[in-house]
Structure 1
């Protein structure tokens, strides 16, 4: 079994069951499956073959979901990216993945057209919600209308066949695609659905960005494999919008990063909404504070469930029990069929209470990094995926993250890699050296702070540097704080001491 086959199965067994809600648009499973078939047939007519990469650059919408399943149905490879990425960011992924097609909205057409010419690839551009014109530019709506509502697969799906490339910077900071297989995605989605007791009676709310691994597995895919109803929002608006959706659609399951829960518990008018249908609130991506955990329970009468995962693990690795003992501050227990060890630098397992690196083995672990054999061998050494995260295990087997080996910043549930921001700032003519770190923030979890050492005699306003980043980085990656320093702390070998920089964080920020 895999994701597109499961969708087809539910479309036949429960054709009238409501599958998707997007504002005034409501689709049954039969209708959703037919649309996936129509697009799949249209993609085949464009010459897209098994193994070809197809980018999806869309916000949360039915077109994203239909495209995701249609690409997998023809055994091509889904490459979801943030539709707010700049040309520089999209270019890095296109140069690596060499897609044959992009499904996007009109805003990104000039960017991908220019990049296709620079990279020298023939690219079919499928545009949603507009009437495009130009060579190799096609209307999503017209492709859908012309496609047959039935689909006949000419070859069998393989369990270990790569069906998705999810780009991440991992522990090295360089952008690379995690190759996820049919079995990776299906096994993780079905396990997560079972852990959360999802059934056809449930209604899940998709607010977190669908290009993100957690939103795909924990909301979109878990809902589909369960035959539940998926209510889709473009993205986060405010607590009132979320609460109204829970009330009006009788939402039972919601997933979001701790940032969203922080905003929710601080909202003064939660009592105005009837949230009695809501039974599961799930979170991940960054640490959930004890204050948010406790305040949420006081306001809504049940506890948030926290889990842990990575792009390379499809993503779920551990989870607190939905029903049972939750330990605030813990990322929970290994999910079924997934093995975890806490090890030292020689991969020797540490006893309970001792800190070491989390390593993972199981059906959720990626096949490897696309075109990165050496990095794959290293990260998968000794047959285990090495997460780069430091943790300890208590006497009950619950895991507690204590730090990151990598310097990843997680702002509002979105990953920001310091090296990427640093490389952009280094291109400013007045910047001599730069170091980027995350600083704690009560709402976003972390914010971006850049320490800047200017060239001799130069001066620059912090706002000028932020403006310099605007067409090179997505908005959420632009440093909120910039601090000018006379030197950056280093070891005698010249290695930057970010631990020393973090000690300076409590000083006033600009």
Structure 2
């Protein structure tokens, strides 16, 4: 069987009572996560959805996002996550461009998704606490090819309207393996974040990495530094993922706290923007961990380069190519650039997207960044 849902099936069989998810005071074991996800997949099938159908998902970083996301994968459908702050017009564009068969939104979000779905005559579901679906029965997990599209993530549209990057089953599974390896994550780790799971960083570096390793994942629905510090202490996190503004905010909110207050934290994974050296050094001193910076794109399923955990973090450095990827910088003539010169980044490997929505005719395995 090949599915983005594979890691959950594996750990639900091997360690069913291990904690998979924490959100607030709620805990979900791997058995419960598996049960809820295949139930959600069954509801999708009962509603008439078929493998390959696209499903828009708008929800904050709560356990129910994970259940819906994995249920969509188990059903063989394609998940299309969108920013929870998207306007009706933005949601309409994605629904139409991706040709979605269903739209799902968290119960506390505004009316943008429901109104957009109504305008395009797309069925709409509300995602509620517990992610229960009336009358749902468990479905068999759909076997898929690694080159089939599993998710479509829309880029920011810096060159026009947003483009849908098609990430395959293989892209997401490879990203989970790479993420777990880069942070040396294991089933003993407690991985936490305040990142949005609708973004590729949250999906690849947190969700897929945690599930691949069989560890637990602690989620914060919306980042604020005080809540993140509480999550770090309460859930005794060993690995965190975030962006430089989060680390800076946590530093200021930590007050007189010392590394002893965060004694289990060993690694902080940083991406999304360049990490100032003074913030990196201060964070490591205050929290007693190693902060590792990486570089990647939506189109490369979040991964490109990463600091080597065995060498420790190096300030102002995004590391070498991650395992399995080829990265090179070339000039405008296609020649490899000398150290210290400016050029274009080329990335090739198993995390490179299939192509943009409706623009790919065959699988691609290289990307200019």
For normalisation by structure 1, the TM-score amounts to 0.68
Aligned residue among 253, 258, 265 for 2:244: 258
Counterparts of 2:317 and 2:256, CA distance in 1: 27
Distance of 1:288 and 1:223 partners within structure 2: 23
What per-residue deviation string (whole Å, max 9, x for no partner) do you get for residues 158-205 of structure 1? 010101000003652420100000100101111110121111111011
Deviation by residue 1:29-75 (Cα, 9 ceiling, x = unmatched): 01110000110001100001111110110111111000111111111
Structure 1 stretches of 5 or more lacking a match? 131-138, 388-510
Alpha-carbon deviation of 1:310? 0.4
CA contact (8 A) 1:206 1:220 kept: no
1:91-106 to structure 2, matched below 5 A, reads: 91-106=92-107
1:203 counterpart = 2:203: no
Higher relative contact order (CA 8 A, sep 6+): 2
* Offset at residue 108 of structure 1 (A): 5.1
Shift of 1:384: 3.2
CA–CA distance in structure 1, aligned partners of residues 118 and 18 of structure 2: 45
Question: What is the CA–CA distance in structure 2 between the aligned matches of 1:117 and 1:26, rounded to whole Å?
Answer: 34
Indicate whether 1:241 and 2:227 are aligned: yes
Determine the structure 2 residue equivalent to 1:177: 164
Partner Cα separation in structure 1 for residue 301 and residue 325 of structure 2: 12
CA distance in 2, matches of 1:90, 1:325: 41
**Alpha-carbon offset, residue 337 of structure 1:** 0.9
Q: Helix, strand or coil for the counterpart of 2:223?
A: coil
Q: How does 1:142-157 map to 2 (within 5 A)?
A: 142-143=133-134, 146-149=135-138, 151-153=139-141, 156-157=143-144
The separation in 2 between residues aligned to 1:351 and 1:269, in whole angstroms, is 44
Q: What's the C-alpha RMSD, in Å, of the aligned pairs?
A: 2.2
Kept in 2, the 8 Å contact 1:54–1:71? The answer is yes
Q: For the residues of structure 1 that align with 2:114 and 2:255, how far apart are their CA atoms?
A: 46
Q: State whether residues 292 and 312 of structure 2, in contact with CA within 8 Å, keep that contact through their aligned partners in structure 1.
A: no
Shift of 1:217: 1.0
1:306 is aligned to 2:288 = no
2-structure distance, mates of 1:242, 1:249: 10
Distance 1:268 1:26, change over 3 A: closer
Q: CA deviation at 1:300?
A: 2.2
Deviations 1:125-155 (A, max 9, x none): 111238xxxxxxxx95333xx2234x324x5
1:325–1:275: structure 2 CA closer, same or farther, 3 Å change rule?
A: closer
Output the CA distance in 1 between the equivalents of 2:160 and 2:175.
25
Gaps of 5+ in 2: none
SS in 1 for 2:230: helix
Q: Does 1:330 align with 2:317?
A: yes
Structure 1 contact 178–366 (Cα < 8 Å) conserved: yes
Alpha-carbon distance in structure 2 between the residues aligned to 1:361 and 1:253: 27
Aligned residue in 1 for 2:307: 320
Contact 1:3 1:225 in 2 (8 A): no
Could you tell me which residue of structure 1 aligns to residue 4 of structure 2?
3
Match of 2:132 in 1: 141
SS of equivalent to 2:84: coil
Q: Distance in 1 between matches of 2:270 and 2:103?
A: 31
* Cα distance in structure 1, aligned partners of 2:30 and 2:232: 21
- Write the distance in 2 (CA, Å) between the matches of 1:2 and 1:318: 25
Q: Counterpart of 1:158?
A: 145
Q: Residues 248 and 99 of structure 1: is their aligned pair in 2 closer, same or farther, counting only changes over 3 Å?
A: same
Contact 1:109 1:125 in 2 (8 A): no
The DSSP-based 3-state class of the residue aligned with 2:278 is: helix
Once the two structures are superposed, residues 74-98 of structure 1 have per-residue CA deviations (whole angstroms, 9 ceiling, x without a partner) of 1110000111211122122112112
CA contact (8 A) 2:7 2:214 kept: no
TM-score calculated relative to the size of structure 2:
0.93
Aligned ranges for residues 313-392 of structure 1 at < 5 Å?
A: 313-373=300-360, 384-387=366-369
Q: State the SS of the aligned residue for 1:291.
A: helix
Q: Which residue of 1 aligns with 2:78?
A: 77
3-state SS in 1 of match to 2:21? strand
Aligned 1:454-465 pairs, distance under 5 A:
none
Residue of 274, 284, 305 corresponding to 2:271? 284
